[in-house]
A and B are shown apart, each in its own frame.
Chain A
Amino acid sequence: MMDDRKNTPSRVPENSSFYNRVLPVVLIALAVVMVVLIVVALGVLLGYTPYQ
């Protein structure tokens, strides 16, 4: 019998406030932190950020 369930991905729950609300906010927050760290590192390279 052919198992048509193979290679079938699971789905994100439809009515989950964790996936619908919390995770998008977390993703945006992490992206903001990433940009801040990159700006600081570029500031070091360009001499604007104190470097020790």
Chain B
Amino acid sequence: MSINQILPFASTLVMLIFTVSVFQRYAVRRKPHFLFWGIGLAMFGAGSFAEAYFSIFGWSAVVFFLWYFFGAVLNAGWIGHGTLMLLVRKRWRNIVTGILIVGSLAAAVLMFQAMARLNPANFQAGVPISEQFREIMPAIDAGGVVRLTTPFFNVYGMVTLVGGALWSAWIFLRKRVLPNRVIGNVLIAAGALSIGFASTLTRMGYGQLLYVGELIAAVLMYIGFVMAGRPEPVVERNPVATSVPAAGASD
């Protein structure tokens, strides 16, 4: 097996553990940001699983749907939306949640339109799907309009997830409290940026680094999530107000 066949399995395993951890936390605390993080991470995992599937079993239209729709289009936006749920007021949360759901449904319609125009004859076994999906999907002006939706979801996810994590890390650092959340949020931001960077390169025609970027993202974000949610070591007796929401924190 080549390294590009092994990496998606590793990413899928990490994302599975990560997703289960987040859903467990949602089951206990019933906070909506855990739900959106969990859904987004499950989408990320579906994308990684699809890559692993392609490397072993070859072409499948359903798996291609999973890979592109959940792995390339939606996951960043939904993970980032979880962070937004922590940072803004309820009224805005409801409005943006509605926009995200409607946008996702619209993207689904466009994805189904593209699915009818796929060209599976161009699929090459042994070649990472990130390097050959352009030959399989229709061009934008030939029914592949869904490809135009990826920047919207990914920019939204980038701003909310990375921006939220960096902002939280900065606030904690400035207040000189909760160093585990400072580090945890930095790791979450770095992980999200690694997949964002790899995705951007893929979009520009350099898909070789996507699987490495995915694994780095999965590992860094999971470690960051665990660190940010870790119970605090008790080191002093003077209470300090810490009402600042933390991206990736246990809340």
Contact = CB atoms under 8 A, between A and B. Distances in A.
Interface of A: 4-14, 19, 23-24, 26-27, 30-31, 33-34, 37-38, 40-42, 44-45, 49-52
A20 to B, nearest CB: 9
Contacts of B155: 38, 41-42
Contacts, number: 105
6 A-B pairs with least C-beta separation: A12-B176, A41-B151, A5-B234, A9-B177, A52-B205, A34-B162
Nearest to B201: A40
Contact of A9 (B151, B200, B240): B240
B173 A24 contact: yes
Interface string B207-242: 000000000000000000000000011111111101
Contacts of A41: 151, 154-155, 158, 200
Interface string B235-251: 11111101000000000
Nearest to B148: A45
Contacts of B158: 34, 37-38, 41
A12 B159 contact: no
6 contacts: A9-B177, A19-B179, A27-B173, A30-B162, A34-B162, A44-B203
A30 B235 CA distance: 30
Main secondary structure of the interface of B (DSSP, over half): helix
A27 B169 contact: yes
A11 to B, nearest CB: 6
B193 A33 contact: yes
B118 interface: no
A11 B174 CA distance: 11
Nearest to A40: B200
B112 interface: no
Interface stretch (B32-40, B101-109, B182-190): B182-190
A51 B151 CA distance: 11
